[in-house]
Structure 1
């Protein structure tokens, strides 16, 4: 090979190595800048120091262990050169030609380093295990088998398993490496083929094997601790067989392992291979007998013939610890009489509940938002959130969604680098409708929305721009030479521009940073573009799920963040959970964990991108330990702005998990639990043409025995394999009651209609069924909304909205409302009409109080639809009041309608 070719190869190696270093370095520096931007650089430092420190410690341990063992082989290798002769063995040839003490030392160093690097992945991701061991927090609950605090199993046992795995790997690796050199250079002494009482290779190798058996004895003790999470018995946790067969077996095997270690070590001096063979065979036989055969026999012949008597104590442990792990032990149980004694006067007293019944199903409503409020094709509403807001003196349940900019929906001709990175950078505002009201055209009554943002309910939003959201996937650059697109104006293709003035983003104020981010995002235009200025900033990790996981990946995050308007700004609230699969005796869910707490609420500013973590369950040991590892990460709930605290919600995902466990674990009697005599299921409803388990739903109502209405999350239960209702679970959301769980059980001496029975009665009611069948053809489709079971006083009211959608249209219309009470079931155009049909003329049929204000400002195509909706609503209310003989109310509505029309005319002239 010529010198020129060698130079070329060296240059290529240098270039590729440089590119690799640049790539890795750019990722690190981009994260370094970003963590500084969000104020969590200490979290990154803690993570890096812990991870690198553990990796260095593991590499050092393996290197020293291998190297010391290899050094010990010096005297046992028999490296004396052989006299010259015609035929040499491989060992004689290597010793005579190549092997010197200096070369062998270098080889040992290289082998030790390679072995250490080869086994260093054992430390990958284990730094948190080590930190949790060092910062462990007690749970204050001890397991009944070993009487150890639950914190031992959650924080310490994983660390012991990590150490055990490292020791076993080190011993096996050292035995393989040293054994290779002994076999290569001195096989006779290793295998005991030469006479003599003392053989260094045998002593060395036997010591390693003996140490392996000693570590294995410790491993059996760890396996004994793992029995508290055994899946063997009728319930999760140590069962009769585990305790009376496996536990003694592990203890005996630990003793056998220690005996084998002594025998093997002594054999290095006695050189009696029979003893070794007997010891190893005894260990294998003991393992097969104690771990495989004996447990099977105990299970088959002692447990199965009298299973409940054997397993009863362990069933009680499982019930007790499962209820603790999922917070079921804190549920307050009350009786709900479910009487059929509602009167119009009762309905009048519960008017706040009736005014806030959620008639809109989020599935068809999302299509409506898309059609009426996206305005332009590049805007999207990812999902619909449910919340409550106070307007004036009344609290109302609303549905809302953020209007985000989806760059994938930009026209092809507009998908240039400048447009995607510097022009179309953010979404704008939100849409919001009352959950309980419908326009005469069957559409939601929007109280906020449009471009520019406006609210007919007085909702203040000073900063409507959304730079951080659920659809903000890629990075953008602000502060360029040209302004950013803000929102389209009413004049054809015109639009309004803006410039980002928020705190988010990393400054691109020099070529060094531009070079770093060009490598980080594999985009040379960051380095070459003339549109950047010294004031330019790059905003990345803008997707809120990615953003919070980047900071704190050691929490599990809810799949459904929700938007909140507070203090004139937009925020995302995201629930975060601490969980583990190490809780003793607790039944795991399908996802694998067997302990969960909603310990943390995360708040993300949609404009600035700031992220704050607030502790809502200070008694959770997992979050306490994380708080010790990352000081200053979590803030107390009291530090959250009061206006945001008003929008805290108990997460539906958590309540669904707790409900699944409660379906069996409401039975605290071991006999009932074993026989599943009172097992429940989550109630089902019809979604489309399929039966599905109901999702937890939010509603405003007054709980039995309470003075004020409050926002709750609830879910009904039915008996297993039956459809009548037996109970409903409620989670409270307001003020000091946040997080309290209430279980209301129904009388067992009579049957209460379940949701599927109401669905069947809808299909069987001739007038309703005929109408739905008629609509569900001739180019239209009937969509059944969520069936809501609503406790009113001591009775139950069932409400289901009916939507109608034309096949060629994506705009569902809410056309009918079905209400069931007792043996009565009716369908009417409105909820008020259905209540009147059931309870008579004295039922409170007055529509919910208006919270809207006449639209102001120039009349544009963006707010024309809202103005027309408001006019229709006022007219519809006036007609309802006219039918009731409420002349004063009729006159008031007509007066408001006249004022609205007059203002629309004036704005049109402008």
Structure 2
């Protein structure tokens, strides 16, 4: 049976419509509406619409502008088609009518053809803008930084916010002008060739039109050369000595660029004069200026002239010729990595540390020395405090809290849900999404503990017992660092305990938070079923009208979806408050457009982003119970975050608006400090001659072949009259040397007002080169040479356990350096680390004991004995004073 043709068309049209609806629903509407509900639940619906508006408005506006440009010139070209008949046509009315009909037909066909072509070309030209719409956003909302680079005198904000979009606009406009010029010239050639009875000359309007188009091409080429000048600021041919332009680029290449601009302009102008001249024409000016332009371009491409300049001028006098350019690189790099305001403290180390030992002879000094490394604590927490198979401690963080009347440094970790720990048959849909939906509580232990004793707990167990008054009203953790799947809570599951008949107060606690997307109707249930491709959501009777859908529960995933333009630190940390747990995430703004700055190595964050400018400009908090996310600007001087703040009003808040409990736990990011010290190790040599010599370049201190990475320490450095601050410490040694050169200290305490205001600072305690100060590797050698320590280590290694050395702690005292080395015993069977001993060292003396206080006291007595032997004076061991 034959199907009627009209019915076939109807079926085909219906199928086509259904296909379009299906694609639009699944790939546009569904994602868009769920995203909107999610942003709305986070109180960010205005921000959601702004991002959509910016993206599609900018993209649409760019497409419309380029379409208008193409269409206008195609229409103008069509407008002048056929309007240049010869004299015979004008006299003969019949020929004139035929000529006009042919011209009208040609113009009509030309417009019908050029309109879709203009649209296709506009979309093709605008595609790069679709991908780089945020670059345009930064340009529109950007401002100046107040810092001027010395080569061209431009504000730094120009390079970070405007220069990238200028490069893109110039390339696209030049391509557009060339395409239009070629196509319009082709149109005029076609009409002049194929329409009969044309005069020999183009219409004057057509010649003017082509001249204008040629002028635009010239303008955009010249603009390209002007922008090309700035590319000299990003050359790396002088690496590894210094970054940015040198003598050859500024004294040789830059003048050639200017010569190219002048030669090209002269050639273009002389060509236009030749084109429009009605009297005697001469090609001499054009040929001369073209020769100048080609010569300037050629001289830029040849290699031997820069090599000769480098060989006979630069290399014989490197410091003299490159001094200003090295200085530019030093200044730019220090500013780009936020290192220009470092405080330098000349630290004098004395051979007699007795005065420092006497000043430190109080137990409180040792209550915050972190002898427990978080790498070892992770195993302790998981084996002792996970309690149930589906709980897991993913990471251990550091913090400081007011405990027993003073600030104590602690280690802490969240007890998160990990459904993969359950038996495979228990990992069903209901358990995964409705029952085992959240973690519960956290553990807190003091960073300083005595060896040989059971570990002390400030917060532990599922009842959150605490001997120091720590308590949390809502200890449930619905958002964290685990790979969480979506959860629907509260729900109608029968409250039945996992074993027995009583409910589990941890698992079956009813969610009362306001986070998540409400599910008040069957329509939403249906949409979520389509969204997750999971029909159980729609057919489950355990989902009620009070249920809420919790999605994007991983902290990093959550923030990345909210603010993809921010680059996130690798280590979000947990904060305990009286009401609930919070996650604090450090975020960075990066750019690869800071002029003359050294590019960072690829060991920061995930290593995929090239940059030479960084600011820790945002602190982000995520409520572990409700998921509410807040952005706080911690560095308002950053021009990039200023632009985003203007673009998205209401999203970013001032750091002073952060709740006090959270603000007290802010810290200097570990990875950022590591990056800054890596740069500063070379760029602390601010004199260009010294920088060129690289005689005082530093390196990270090493122990057992591994770098000593920055670590947190709560310590009184004498800035606020005995008030301790939470700092990050990083030791460094000279290149190929084990002596200690400096200790870098990063702090966030306002040292002027000594309050809780967030104020970042870096202090470098720099040791005199004339005095030898033991580095970590040398202290470790002293430990291995001590017969008592060596014998004890050998004994432990023979008893079914192995000895592991923890992180070596380095603390600057008044005129001495204190080293603390924890030792751990790890049993072969249980693999639970045990803090066995601590080793304390000052100068060349080493003492091992079970407690920091005992080890330090023995060290104190040893120095008193040494001084007594040297002077013949008897000292009182209680206070270290002469009798």
TM-score (norm 1): 0.83
2: CA distance, partners of 1:180 / 1:809: 83
**Corresponding residue number in structure 1 for 2:521:** 510
1:106 and 2:112 matched:
yes
1:22 and 2:32 matched:
no
1: CA distance, partners of 2:123 / 2:635: 42
1:743 and 2:743 matched:
no
Task: Report the secondary structure of 2:760's partner residue.
Answer: coil
Q: Give a deviation string over 1:464-504, Cα, whole Å, max 9, x none.
A: 00111111532211132126899999999997511111010
Is the 8 Å Cα contact of residues 371 and 449 (structure 2) preserved in structure 1?
Answer: yes
2: CA distance, partners of 1:255 / 1:816: 76
**Corresponding residue number in structure 1 for 2:645:** 627
More deviation, 627-636/604-613: 627-636
2: CA distance, partners of 1:842 / 1:275: 89
Indicate how the Cα distance of structure 1 residues 785 and 274 shifts in structure 2: closer, same or farther if over 3 A, else same.
same
**Corresponding residue number in structure 1 for 2:814:** 793
1: CA distance, partners of 2:186 / 2:497: 71
Alignment map for 1:257-656 (pairs within 5 Å): 257-266=264-273, 268=275, 283-293=293-303, 294-339=305-350, 340-342=352-354, 346=358, 348-438=360-450, 440=452, 444-482=455-493, 496-591=507-602, 592-656=610-674
Unaligned runs of 5+ in 2: 85-100, 603-609, 750-755, 865-876, 879-883
Task: Report the secondary structure of 1:445's partner residue.
Answer: coil
Indicate how the Cα distance of structure 1 residues 201 and 677 shifts in structure 2: closer, same or farther if over 3 A, else same.
same
Is the 8 Å Cα contact of residues 479 and 537 (structure 1) preserved in structure 2?
Answer: yes
2: CA distance, partners of 1:696 / 1:578: 22
Indicate how the Cα distance of structure 1 residues 503 and 197 shifts in structure 2: closer, same or farther if over 3 A, else same.
closer
Indicate how the Cα distance of structure 1 residues 182 and 789 shifts in structure 2: closer, same or farther if over 3 A, else same.
same
Alignment map for 1:639-788 (pairs within 5 Å): 639-686=657-704, 691-704=705-718, 706-708=720-722, 709-734=724-749, 735-736=756-757, 738-776=759-797, 779-788=800-809
Task: Report the secondary structure of 2:354's partner residue.
Answer: coil
2: CA distance, partners of 1:180 / 1:781: 83
2: CA distance, partners of 1:436 / 1:704: 21
Q: Give a deviation string over 1:777-821, Cα, whole Å, max 9, x none.
A: 675333221011112332111111122223343312222222222
Is the 8 Å Cα contact of residues 316 and 670 (structure 1) preserved in structure 2?
Answer: yes
More deviation, 555-564/585-594: 585-594
Indicate how the Cα distance of structure 1 residues 487 and 43 shifts in structure 2: closer, same or farther if over 3 A, else same.
farther
Is the 8 Å Cα contact of residues 487 and 496 (structure 1) preserved in structure 2?
Answer: no
Q: Give a deviation string over 1:91-110, Cα, whole Å, max 9, x none.
A: xxxx99x9865444222111
1: CA distance, partners of 2:499 / 2:311: 75
2: CA distance, partners of 1:465 / 1:541: 17
TM-score (norm 2): 0.86
- Per-residue deviation at 1:215? 0.7
More deviation, 599-608/809-818: 809-818
**Corresponding residue number in structure 2 for 1:858:** none
**Corresponding residue number in structure 2 for 1:12:** 15
Count of paired positions = 824
- Per-residue deviation at 1:459? 0.3
Is the 8 Å Cα contact of residues 504 and 539 (structure 1) preserved in structure 2?
Answer: yes
**Corresponding residue number in structure 1 for 2:180:** 174
More deviation, 795-804/5-14: 5-14
1: CA distance, partners of 2:255 / 2:135: 29
Q: Give a deviation string over 1:416-436, Cα, whole Å, max 9, x none.
A: 212211111111111111111
- Per-residue deviation at 1:269? 5.1
**Corresponding residue number in structure 2 for 1:33:** 37
- Per-residue deviation at 1:58? 1.3
Alignment map for 1:219-238 (pairs within 5 Å): 219-233=224-238, 234-238=241-245
More deviation, 122-131/607-616: 122-131
More deviation, 606-615/121-130: 121-130
2: CA distance, partners of 1:569 / 1:562: 14
Indicate how the Cα distance of structure 1 residues 452 and 163 shifts in structure 2: closer, same or farther if over 3 A, else same.
same
Indicate how the Cα distance of structure 1 residues 336 and 259 shifts in structure 2: closer, same or farther if over 3 A, else same.
same
- Per-residue deviation at 1:255? 1.8
- Per-residue deviation at 1:7? 4.8
Unaligned runs of 5+ in 1: 81-94, 844-883, 886-910
Indicate how the Cα distance of structure 1 residues 100 and 194 shifts in structure 2: closer, same or farther if over 3 A, else same.
closer
**Corresponding residue number in structure 2 for 1:895:** none
1:826 and 2:847 matched:
yes
**Corresponding residue number in structure 1 for 2:64:** 60
2: CA distance, partners of 1:18 / 1:810: 58
Is the 8 Å Cα contact of residues 489 and 495 (structure 1) preserved in structure 2?
Answer: no
Q: Give a deviation string over 1:717-753, Cα, whole Å, max 9, x none.
A: 1111211101111122332474122111112211101
Across the aligned residues of Structure 1 and Structure 2, the Cα RMSD in angstroms comes to 3.5
Is the 8 Å Cα contact of residues 452 and 850 (structure 2) preserved in structure 1?
Answer: no
Is the 8 Å Cα contact of residues 356 and 816 (structure 2) preserved in structure 1?
Answer: no
Is the 8 Å Cα contact of residues 801 and 814 (structure 1) preserved in structure 2?
Answer: yes
2: CA distance, partners of 1:487 / 1:214: 76
**Corresponding residue number in structure 2 for 1:874:** none
